[in-house]
Amino acid sequence: MSSGMKIIEEQQKPIEKLQIYPTSNSGVSPFWREKYERDAKKYWDIFYKHHGDRFFKDRHYLDKEWNSYFSASGKKVILEVGCGAGNTIFPLIATYPHIFVYACDFSPRAIDLVKIFVLSAVSPEKMPLVLENIRKVLKPNGCILFRDYAVGDLAQERFSGKDQKISENFYVRGDGTRAFYFSNEFLEFLLSEQGFEVEELGVCCKQVENRSRELVMNRRWVQATFRRSSGNKIPCDRMNPVKLDRSEEQNNVKPKSEEQERKEIVDNTEIDISDGLAIEMFGASPSSHEISVVKLRDSAYKIKLLSKEYQHTCKSTGLMLWESARLMASVIDRNQNIVSGKRVLELGCGCTGICSMVAARSANLVVATDADTKALTLLTENITMNLESSLHGKLKTGVLEWGNKEHIEGITGLACGGFEVIIGTDVTYVPEAIIPLFQTAKELILRGRGDSEVQEKPALILCHVFRRVDEPSLLSAASMFGFKLADRWAVNSRESPIGNIVDHWFSEKDMVAEIPSSALHILYFQME
């Protein structure tokens, strides 16, 4: 059965509300799993490039939890594996001047900052090798003081329902760095296999309160001490073995007063929030965004969008700048007659809204729409940053979920009956979205105009790279809702143009230099 016939059958089904981002929860693909492993150093380097030594708070838990290992007389030589920016070792050196610390990290940028919770950043398959290397440099009777993420921690819970799982208890964050969550059983087996014996092993449970969002969040760490065994276990003469399970401890103490509990929650907000957890808990940090400059013939736009290293795990496609949007913005910039004096609608504008901002210079009204409210919030910032205040009244934004009658009616009300130009850039790559796309465009395009030879017919302009939906499928769906292909264009296209509309947009010789990809196509539709 042809793809065109499949779409015709879909006509009998009710129109669904659609947003263009994936809903699958299949975990990280093999390609990305290998890439995260191969480029682990790069992702941590990028992290420290953005945050420097400002992201982590100084950590004092080594002194608090393992004072006896550092306070004993005599020189102590310590190796920190995964030193990060030094937020652990500098407080330790300040407290115990007699110690000497070797610090290492696989991020060269982090090492530069020193002159992490660490094992969790390593893939489970390579943990034995890390421990083997540690054992080689550890003196007989030497100890590993271990503190890292525990199974059931808030951050792990937040990963559920997202395509960020690499393997059991192992996840990738939005910035490409990774985190493993340990159970006591897994950790004890892992260390015992490498010749370490347990002296202390338990789970620390704390709560962090975000008062502005009225959230109380559970944090869980595994805290443990392992001693290098030498055949027979050498008892530790400085510390009695203790099973450190904070939840059991709480059952053996007197109930706390409400005032005490409130004070503890306040105190616990001062604990260090490591790696990307602060972003996951409290929203995107400033470093998760970047500025991209779109240069046109006589102007340039500074566009705030999601940083590239976050884009590969982001669900929303509207927080980045697509090549099709760059091309259409350049086309409109050089051919203002496309939108001049007209009411213009952009479908799936995303956070950049670059086509809408360029169109606002000469159009009577521009409405930029998207189903993603986060994208629209960022778009508002970009409009304020780039457009003169006199143009703000001509450019409106609105939530539009394709196929949603309430949304469609609201947008129709803004245009006093309909739009003369509808633009969509890279909105055709999800097969399930094609029917709602054309159905929504039909509802919003202006009717009853274009009978005169002088007046242009209202147009739907789609610019895209063909991905999962081919041209015959698009044309079949368009025909179902009364749209006829009036012209087409592609870089180095061998097909003859249907009309003489789009070719004129590229008549200037230097326009070719502004085409960002040779795979881009433009389809120009009019109502039959």
Strand pairing report for 395-399 and 365-370: parallel
pLDDT of residue 226: 87
What is the C-alpha separation between 56 and 277, in angstroms, rounded?
11
User: Average pLDDT of 119-136?
Assistant: 81
Say how many CA atoms lie within 13 Å of 429 toward its Cβ.
Answer: 17
3-state secondary structure of 214: coil
233 pLDDT more than 70:
no
- The structural domains of the chain, ordered by start, are 30-282 (3.40.50.150), 287-527 (3.40.50.150)
Give the pLDDT band (50/70/90) at residue 247.
very low
Nearest CA-CA partner of 444 in 477, 400, 474, 505? 400
pLDDT in tens, 309-331: 666 556 678 888 999 999 999 99
DSSP state of 497: P
Nearest CA-CA partner of 348 in 23, 22, 21, 24? 21
pLDDT in tens, 148-182: 889 888 888 777 656 788 888 888 877 677 889 99
pLDDT of residue 256: 47
441 pLDDT more than 60:
yes
**E strand or H helix that includes residue 89:** helix 89-95
348: left (phi over 0), alpha (psi -120 to 50) or beta: left
Structure tokens at 255: 């109930």
**E strand or H helix that includes residue 140:** none
3-state secondary structure of 324: helix
DSSP state of 232: B
What is the C-alpha separation between 156 and 150, in angstroms, rounded?
9
Residue with tokens 């390593």, as numbered in its chain: 122
Give the pLDDT band (50/70/90) at residue 26.
low
Beta bridge partners of 80: 103
Non-local CB neighbours of 431 within 8 Å, separated by 6+ positions:
468, 469, 473
Give the pLDDT band (50/70/90) at residue 8.
very low
Is 453 within 8 Å of 411 (Cβ atoms)?
no
Structure tokens at 208: 């962090």
Is 379 within 8 Å of 349 (Cβ atoms)?
yes
The residue type of 357 is: M
pTM: 0.54
SS (H, E, C) 146-192: EEEEECCCHHHHHHCCCCCEEECCEEECCCCCEEECECHHHHHHHHH
301 pLDDT more than 70:
yes
What is the C-alpha separation between 31 and 48, in angstroms, rounded?
25
pLDDT in tens, 45-72: 665 555 544 444 445 555 566 666 666 6
465 vs 18, residue with greater confidence: 465
What is the C-alpha separation between 401 and 376, in angstroms, rounded?
13
Is 93 within 8 Å of 101 (Cβ atoms)?
yes
Beta bridge partners of 487: 524
pLDDT of residue 221: 83
Continuous H helices in 184-341: 184-193, 246-251, 258-268, 277-282, 308-311, 323-334
The answer to which of 364-378, 380-394, 458-472, 496-510 has the lowest mean pLDDT is 496-510
pLDDT of residue 430: 87
CA 345 from centroid of its chain's CA atoms: 27
What is the C-alpha separation between 497 and 493, in angstroms, rounded?
9
pLDDT in tens, 190-220: 999 888 899 889 888 877 666 655 666 778 8
Give the pLDDT band (50/70/90) at residue 440.
very high
Is 280 within 8 Å of 291 (Cβ atoms)?
no
Other C-beta atoms closer than 10 Å to the C-beta of 163 total 17
249 vs 178, residue with greater confidence: 178
SS (H, E, C) 374-389: HHHHHHHHHHHHHCCH
Helices 184-193/127-137 angle, 10° precision = 50
